[in-house]
Amino acid sequence: MTIYVERRKIVFPGELLAEGKYASGANTYKEGDKIFSAVIGLAEIQNRVISVIAFKGYYVPKVGDIVIGVITDYSPTSWQVDINSPYTAILQVMDALPKPIDPAKEHVRKYFDIGDILLGEVIVFDKTRSPMLTTKGKGYGKLRGGHIVEISPTKVPRLIGRRGSMINMLKKELNCQIIVGQNGRIWFSAKSLEDEELFVKVIRKIDLEAPIPGLTQRVRQLIKEEKAKRRS
């Protein structure tokens, strides 16, 4: 059993990462007992799992993912949803509403219309058909008010932080509501325009500097400096 890279080392597609009884994690692939990187990114080693944090990438849905989507079209029994992915998601009436509706008597636009923002969960996806969503339960459904900002989907774990450290710090320091979709979309609502602008600035910093150690402390320092400017 051998690991050929150090944690947080930059690796390239096809680079040999480890050999032996290790598990292949995100953005890697296995040939025999050898694990290779599938993307350009930073090597990550946790227990016996070898993965790579990609520098860039688009969102590929997975069953169980919580996503923030935008309604783009509808039919008598479903809606099409942009989930920031090459794949357009489908939300069927039966997966959105507590009871069926009669399309001849009731229009689906009564519940979700084009441009509406929603929080949902991926319940079906196998790359041979469109991903299917549900908005039933768990606080899912239409998101009202607030704003949307996007981050590279590969940076979402860094935005959340270990055990939620980063996202909880942002909620506390900026006194705002934040919902993070695993598809790289973030819904937020702050009490002032200044806090909204600062939140967007923080997200841009995380997106750019996610691979660099000490990010949480730099973000905290940015917030402190911006708040000091307001008081001066």
The pair phi, psi for residue 165, each rounded to 5°, is -60, -45
CB contact at 8 A, 150 and 164? no
190 in the same domain as 222: yes
Q: What integer is the mean pLDDT of 106-130?
A: 91
Residue 61 lies in a domain: no
Q: How confident is the model at residue 120 (pLDDT cuts 50, 70, 90)?
A: very high
Whole-number Å distance between alpha carbons of 173 and 223: 8
Specify if 60 maps to a domain.
no
Domain of residue 127: give its range.
Answer: 66-142
- Domain CATH number, residue 163: 3.30.1370.10
Q: What is the pLDDT of residues 158-197, one digit of tens each?
A: 999 888 999 999 999 998 999 999 999 999 999 888 999 9
Task: Give the span between the Cα atoms of 90 and 60, in whole angstroms.
Answer: 15
Does 59 reside within a domain? no
Domain end, chosen from 127, 142, 157, is at 142
In a domain, 182, yes or no: yes
What are the φ and ψ backbone dihedral angles of 51, each rounded to 5 degrees? -140, 175
Asked whether residue 95 is assigned to any structural domain, the reply reads yes
Quick: pLDDT tens for 23-72: 998 888 888 999 999 877 888 888 889 988 776 667 888 999 999 999 99
Q: What is the mean pLDDT of residues 13-27?
A: 90
| Number of neighbouring beta carbons within 10 Å of residue 84 | 19
Instruction: For 118-154, give the DSSP string.
Output: EEEEEEE--SSS--EEE-SSTT-EE--SSEEEE--GG
End residue of a domain, out of 142, 159, 180: 142
What is the count of structural domains for the chain? 3
Same domain, 196 and 213: yes
Residue 106 lies in a domain: yes
Answer whether 8's CB lies under 8 Å from 26's CB.
no
CATH for 72: 2.40.50.140
